[in-house]
A and B are shown apart, each in its own frame.
Chain A
């Protein structure tokens, strides 16, 4: 079964600082990768996703992530964070279609951005 590891559980930054959240997965086959965000009191929403093609994907609100197949990684980045980015971030993986789709999530990273 696949697993997802998020390295940073808690991150505290000041506004305008750069952000990188690590995500590694363990699965031998082709995968689809996702980053979800959960703002305080709100439901999970998709930030960005990778299915195929350009390994550098851009999402909403200036976020981007790079899929590095050789490292089994899908790190999330943002050049300059804002106070409104305070949220919990989840990396998720699922095998490519053909098998059972069971989205597997990492433990999440809590990001606090100080104004």
Chain B
């Protein structure tokens, strides 16, 4: 089945450590996105990528980094510089040419302990 896979579903990290969240899609979508979801704040855009080897900062990119070496993959690294990393992280992808809606993964809940 086609879709977006985020792993792991739950992740615990000690303060001061970097951690990488995985996002893989087999929908052949060009565009991929990372959002952060916090209660009462909706979805806020962290980074997005329209094509391979290119990505742009979103509204809250500080303390995060991404790479887009393959079309299928858009991993997000939460660095120790992120002051409040505990959150629910959502990855999405979309077919740019047909301008359809974005499809979302199941999300990763990151907790800093």
Where the two chains meet, the residues of A that have a C-beta atom closer than 8 Å to any C-beta of B are 6, 9, 32, 34, 36, 42-46, 49, 51, 90, 92, 96-97, 100-108
Residue in A6, A51, A96, A102 whose beta carbon sits within 8 Å of that of B48 in the complex: A102
**Number of B residues, CB within 8 Å of A:** 24
Q: Known: A32-B99, A43-B107, A44-B104. Contact between A100 and B50, CB under 8 A?
A: yes
The answer to whether B104 touches A45, judged by C-beta atoms less than 8 angstroms apart, is yes
The answer to whether A101 touches B41, judged by C-beta atoms less than 8 angstroms apart, is no
Where the two chains meet, the residues of B that have a C-beta atom closer than 8 Å to any C-beta of A are 31, 33, 35, 40-45, 48, 50, 56, 58, 90, 92, 94, 96, 99, 101-102, 104-107
The answer to whether B96 touches A101, judged by C-beta atoms less than 8 angstroms apart, is yes
A97 contacts which chain B residues (CB < 8 A)?
A: 96, 99
The answer to whether B42 touches A108, judged by C-beta atoms less than 8 angstroms apart, is yes
